[in-house]
């Protein structure tokens, strides 16, 4: 069983019939570095899974790019508000290295959820997990030092500094590049 199947099972187990229907609903693309999966002011029409590579979810604030999330190998990701409300997104989702990405379109996923309560439960658990991660991220920014946030990031993603530009990491951690440089020099 490949990692994608294990990641699905890690969210919620599906019967063989439900899993087969769910797996067949996904599309797969190989995309180059800097490929936009979602552009600003467009509807984020897919729930994504990155098999290989890194995608950055970001937005513009006062002319600056703010990294909201980094999705590395074998992670699900999406623009939650745009996906569920089917309204244009303020977020951009772009690969930062060549990637193999999978996606399931909104309409296809909603139709599966209407037909199959196991898939509906899977989606509910996936969204719940996403919300919990978002809350942990906000708590981290509110209550942890920049040093603690950086150390936690390295513990969870040891290769991140070799694969992601430091400016994106600093933005994701909610600190300046200069602060990140100071933290790294003492690490």
Domain boundaries, the chain: 3-143
Q: What is the pTM of this model?
A: 0.94
Note the pLDDT of residue 180: 96
pLDDT, tens digit, 9 for 90 and up, residues 116-139 = 999 999 999 999 999 999 999 999
Of 123, 157, 156, 152, give the one whose Cα is nearest residue 139: 152
Note the pLDDT of residue 1: 63
Residues constituting the chain = 187
Mean pLDDT of the chain: 96
Would you say 45 and 106 are in contact if contact means Cβ atoms under 8 Å apart?
yes
In CATH, what is the architecture of 3-143?
Sandwich (2.60)
pLDDT at 186 over 90: no
């Amino acid at each position: 069983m490949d990692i994608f199947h294990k990641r699905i099972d890690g969210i919620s187990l599906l019967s063989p019939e439900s899993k087969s229907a769910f797996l067949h609903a996904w599309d797969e693309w190989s995309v180059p570095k800097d490929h936009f999966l979602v552009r600003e002011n467009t509807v984020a029409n897919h729930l994504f899974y990155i098999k290989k590579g890194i995608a950055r979810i970001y937005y513009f604030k006062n002319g600056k790019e703010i990294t909201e999330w980094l999705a590395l190998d074998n992670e699900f990701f999406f623009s939650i508000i745009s996906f569920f409300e089917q309204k244009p997104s303020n977020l951009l989702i772009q690969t930062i290295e060549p990637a193999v990405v999978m996606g399931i379109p909104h309409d296809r996923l909603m139709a599966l959820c209407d037909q199959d309560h196991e898939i509906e439960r899977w989606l509910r658990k996936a969204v719940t997990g996403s919300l919990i991660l978002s809350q942990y991220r906000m708590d981290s920014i509110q209550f942890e030092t920049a040093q603690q946030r950086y150390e936690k990031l390295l513990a969870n993603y040891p290769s991140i500094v070799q694969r992601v530009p430091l400016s994106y990491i600093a933005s994701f951690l909610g600190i300046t590049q200069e602060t990140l440089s100071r933290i790294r020099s003492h690490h």
